[in-house]
Amino acid sequence: PYVRWSSVPSTQPTFGHQSSISGIRKVYALLSAQLIITFGIVAIFVWVPDVQTFAATNYALFWSAFGLTIAMVIILACCGNFRRKTPYNYIALFIFTICEGYLLGCCSATFDAPDVAAAIVVTFVVTGALTLFAFQTKWDFTVMGGLLLVLVTSLIMFGIFAAIFNDRILQMVYAWLGALLFSFYLVFDTQLILGGKHRIAISPEEYVFAALNLYLDIINLFLYILAIFGGSRS
């Protein structure tokens, strides 16, 4: 789904071209809809006790949502023709968003409501600030894909280490590192849709893929920020 900007002619379409501004609007329209649905579900789980009780006693629904989430991510990430075919790409993205919202709601329900509310607000503030930074900065983060992959692999290993030792300080360090890393990922993925002066860009026909990337960055950022708030009260 990517093109190397420095090696393609100027006629190669990218989100950064004036003719593809509508593509950027489409990405952020999809992303906005996903976030509204997701955090709407989270709010229901956190502030409606009956929903918490229902989720806690229906493990089959949780694992079904988990399985569908994995399946939809694999399909949207690996099946290029499918994710570019309307309306199937929208249907798959909608199913993924509903299932991810359910899983996120189950997770958020284990935290205090004030912590969840604070994490949501901070996530949106940080996301807005990082998006503006990605649009304005002269630094090109699109060349950092390999480094970010190494860092996220290292973060996973550190997370396993922190879980084994079950140490609060290690878990807080893990949460802060995760929030920092996915802040970089958000800038990276934002610049991929811009093209222009950035070395690597994402094809404008991959608007579903672009929205999925940004959505996952924001959700991961939210989870790590939520862990920070929850850990600070422990």
pLDDT digits (tens, 9 = 90+) for 81-140: 888 898 999 999 999 999 999 999 999 999 999 999 999 999 999 999 999 999 888 888
What's the mean pLDDT when you consider all of the chain? 88
Specify the pLDDT at position 14.
54
**Domain ranges, ordered by start, for the chain:** 2-233
Tokens 């422990």 — which residue?
234
How many Å apart are CA 168 and CA 164, to the nearest integer? 11
Query: 176 with 207: CB under 8 angstroms?
Result: no
Query: 72 with 134: CB under 8 angstroms?
Result: no
pLDDT digits (tens, 9 = 90+) for 164-190: 988 889 999 999 999 999 999 999 999
Q: Which three-class secondary structure state does DSSP give residue 11?
A: coil
Sequence letter at residue 106? C
How many Å apart are CA 148 and CA 121, to the nearest integer? 26
